[in-house]
């Protein structure tokens, strides 16, 4: 496969197609003009998107059904990481990609490439990830988000009418969502983003949810997808130099 010759992909099964369509639908709900970057290889396709306001990357991986793809991602592969050489790498409209998914067959006709926003050139590394201890289970993560939302509403309602404006609300939001989860260093906004795009929907408490770190990047991995965030005082993923992916 190459970016110039591939015109379609076929996912491993219809459930993969439905999950990918749901992910794209959530991205479009936040931004009708959203773009996504696709990378395919090693039997999987990874779709990277950036929901506005969270300053994170949301990543959904689906298994492919074509030559050499029957086994899917290898054991231990990080969600959102294409194993082996990247054989397809293209940025497309999220809305057009959603329309191109056939949930009955698992087929995807690739839309025309678009000029992506700056974030599409700054993806997390594909290797070197190490597990970070101390991450709460799924229920604990959802509770942390719920408590933060409640705090935001309480502080917003307590503002005098003269100060209840966008700037003050943004200040409250930055104060709350920049907090880290326990001693992990993971910004709470990354957990909020995971819940907002459906990556923290109900699952067993012993589900393989994990936190990984590679350099300045952290990745919250769940069975439904992962959230990657650039940490270390960079202010999210904007304004960064392009690095190999």
Joined tokens for residue 106:
């698992």
Query: Which DSSP letter does residue 160 get?
Result: -
Q: What is the pLDDT of residue 66?
A: 63
Q: Domains, the chain, ranges and CATH?
A: 8-121 (3.10.150), 130-211 (no CATH)
Unique residue bearing structure tokens 């059904």: 65
Strands (E), the chain: 8-10, 35-41, 44-49, 57-63, 88-93, 101-102, 107-109, 130-131, 210-214, 217-222, 225-230
Count how many Cα atoms sit within 13 Å of the Cα of residue 4 in the half-sphere of its side chain: 0
What is the number of alpha carbons within 13 Å of residue 232 lying toward its C-beta? 9
Digit-coded pLDDT (tens) for 119-148: 999 999 988 999 999 999 999 999 999 999
Sign of CA dihedral 26, 30, 33, 35: negative
Q: What is the pLDDT of residues 102-112, one digit of tens each?
A: 999 999 999 99
pTM assigned to the model: 0.85
163-209: per-residue pLDDT in tens? 889 999 999 999 999 999 999 999 999 999 999 999 999 888 888 89
3-state secondary structure of 2: coil
Let me know: does 27 contact 108? Beta carbons within 8 Å: no
């Amino acid at each position: 496969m190459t970016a110039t010759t591939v015109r379609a992909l076929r996912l491993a099964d219809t459930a993969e197609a439905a999950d990918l369509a749901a992910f794209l639908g959530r991205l479009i709900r936040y931004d009708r003009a959203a773009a996504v970057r696709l990378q395919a290889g090693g039997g999987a396709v990874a779709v990277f998107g950036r929901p506005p306001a969270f300053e994170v990357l949301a990543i959904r991986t689906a298994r492919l059904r074509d030559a050499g793809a029957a086994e899917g991602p290898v054991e231990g592969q990080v969600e959102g990481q294409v194993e082996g050489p990247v054989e397809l790498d293209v940025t497309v409209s999220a809305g057009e990609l959603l329309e191109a998914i056939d949930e009955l067959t698992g087929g995807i006709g690739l839309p025309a490439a678009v000029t992506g926003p700056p974030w599409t050139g700054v993806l997390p590394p594909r290797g070197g990830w190490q597990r970070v201890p101390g991450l709460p289970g799924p229920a604990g993560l959802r509770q942390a988000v719920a408590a933060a939302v409640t705090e935001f509403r309480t502080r917003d309602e307590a503002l005098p009418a003269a100060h209840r404006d966008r700037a003050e609300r943004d200040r409250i939001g930055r104060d709350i969502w920049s907090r880290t989860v326990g001693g992990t260093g993971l910004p709470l906004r990354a957990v909020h983003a995971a819940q907002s795009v459906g990556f923290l929907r109900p699952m067993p408490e012993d589900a393989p949810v994990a936190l990984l770190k590679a350099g300045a990047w952290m990745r919250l991995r769940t069975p439904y997808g992962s959230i990657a965030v650039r940490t270390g005082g960079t202010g999210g993923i904007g304004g960064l130099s392009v690095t190999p992916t």
